A and B are shown apart, each in its own frame.
Chain A
């Protein structure tokens, strides 16, 4: 007897030889996905009882043979395709879904990479697993079980509460430039393969323009051919020229504002990575101008450096790599020349109106979480968009009711995130604050009887696992504030903690 899931295989019968049960009625799924529909008289969202509204809305619904185009085969596009096809499979609706992705994720280096640090957060690993998307061992370059926070006043290790590797360090492509050729699928390739197994068509073609003059999206491809679709989903990230094109169509969309970040790969060899960084992500709170956050992420033979800030340039990168706290993470205290680097852009604000009739922006093209967990934002917006399209429709009003709330939630949480990162920035600037944070965290990590309030706040800020609002509210707890105040005094008056720190303190 087996409980194995069969959601990879459309129409699978569970392995017991029985016929697939009758498809679930869309209304039944809609009630499951929108509990409030019970309260509002049995119909939800755009399913108005008005005949006129229903007739209009039906035109904006997927039916047998509908055509959907997804531009971008990164996590947002692939996850959208998977969620949409799975839900439609349950309702017995067959559509044609094309994913346009000219990039080949089997290539090493920039040609096959989506330019990102490649960390799948703790909460996202769990949610993907609950969705039936288990990351295979060959895709995970290293399981992360702890963070080490480095400051000029010392370093402290923060362990995951369950002593379990629940954060995945992955390659978005096929590994750094000139890395060994292998058959290991990167994270993006793994998700894209799942989408194609569910029935999505991978179209390795560049979309050069989008036109809405006929009322339906018409895509022009690099070879000059044009194709019409019922719905267009843009998941092309921040760097796509398509975003500017759509801005000019007058649909109200304005692309998100972006800032430059820095990602680089250093080859150390697996033994050196294990010895110097282990299974920990190393984060740095250093008092360097314009630096918001920096981290070293161990992955197999390589270490990935990620730097975020309001003005990341080569001078800042050099200043960071020359900092003593960074140098001690490398063999012989000397970072080797990096073998692959890029200055990708990341969202620092959200898109305005990331939807219109027959058009949705998901992932970084629309709304993303501030600084952290971009893949998690891709998951959330892709899921919300797929649910809206499959169960309600894709008119502007459908999307406003059932897609936009998920985006709005991220936007509101980002406001809290600005406060959280503002406080982090203050800690970076103030040595006495850094000493108190270090002392409080050390105490918590070395004494199992102390509730790890500071550790949990830092953990969730670094991992991006919890909403910023929740992290912020935790810092307002009276016990947190009282202990922070005590440690502020004790750390700066050099009162010993009574227990030897587990990692290092200078």
Chain B
């Protein structure tokens, strides 16, 4: 336990909450967390994140509220990256932003895959019903 960085979140604890104003992003040091989106009052797990993954960057880049809730599944340890530290360093070294762009690129690519998969399933269902 002594050689650990970050803050510990217990099973079921929210690391970020949808709709909250955020001023930092997170890196999961250890554990698994669910990304949960509320649609018409119903919570849906839209993704799962593991050690080494980064989240919460949209609130830093866009200065908006959190788009989803991230909830610990089991014990999770995460480290925060302050907006101020990150933005100040980007002013000095804009190439740091490429690291976040890479994360966003992977995310867009994965979303494309998911949309394609869901559309395919929808088409199958529509075809089956007609």
- Whether B113 is near chain A, meaning CB under 8 Å from some CB there, is yes
- Whether A180 is near chain B, meaning CB under 8 Å from some CB there, is no
Bits for B6-31, please: 1 = Cβ < 8 Å to A, else 0.
11000000000000000001010110
Chain A residues with CB under 8 A of B29: 134, 137
CA distance in complex: A16, B85 (Å): 32
Cβ contact within 8 Å between A166 and B2: no
Chain B residues with CB under 8 A of A35: 94
Chain B interface main SS type: mixed
Cβ contact within 8 Å between B3 and A143: yes
- Whether B61 is near chain A, meaning CB under 8 Å from some CB there, is no
Known: A1-B113, A29-B95, A127-B96. A162 touches B106 (CB 8 A): no
Chain A residues with CB under 8 A of B114: 1
Which of A2-10, A190-198, A226-234, A440-448 forms part of the interface with chain B?
A2-10
Cβ contact within 8 Å between B50 and A2: yes
User: For window 119-140 of chain A, which residues contact chain B by CB distance below 8 Å?
Assistant: 123, 125-127, 129-132, 134-135, 137-140
Known: A16-B109, A142-B3, A143-B6. A32 touches B94 (CB 8 A): yes
CA distance in complex: A116, B39 (Å): 53
User: For window 72-112 of chain B, which residues contact chain A by CB distance below 8 Å?
Assistant: 79-82, 85-86, 89, 92-100, 102-103, 105-107, 109-111
CA distance in complex: A5, B28 (Å): 12
Distance in angstroms from A7 CB to nearest chain B CB is 7
Cβ contact within 8 Å between A164 and B110: no
Identify which of B6, B7, B25, B93 contacts A387 (C-beta below 8 A).
B93
Known: A3-B54, A3-B106, A14-B109. A165 touches B94 (CB 8 A): no
Q: How many residues of B contact A (CB 8 A)?
A: 45
CA distance in complex: A163, B79 (Å): 11
Cβ contact within 8 Å between A3 and B107: yes
Q: How many residues of A contact B (CB 8 A)?
A: 50
Chain A minimum-CB-distance residue to B52: A134
Identify which of A16, A137, A384, A409 contacts B110 (C-beta below 8 A).
A16
A residues apposed to B, CB below 8 Å = 1-7, 14, 16, 18, 29, 32-35, 87, 90, 123, 125-127, 129-132, 134-135, 137-143, 162-166, 168, 270, 274, 279, 300, 380, 383-384, 387, 406, 409
New A-B contacts (4) at CB < 8 Å, excluding given A127-B89, A131-B99 = A2-B110, A35-B94, A279-B2, A387-B93
**11 pairs of residues in contact across A and B, judged by CB atoms under 8 Å:** A2-B49, A4-B106, A29-B98, A126-B85, A127-B86, A129-B54, A129-B79, A130-B54, A165-B6, A279-B2, A383-B93
B residues apposed to A, CB below 8 Å = 2-7, 25, 27, 29-30, 47-55, 79-82, 85-86, 89, 92-100, 102-103, 105-107, 109-111, 113-114
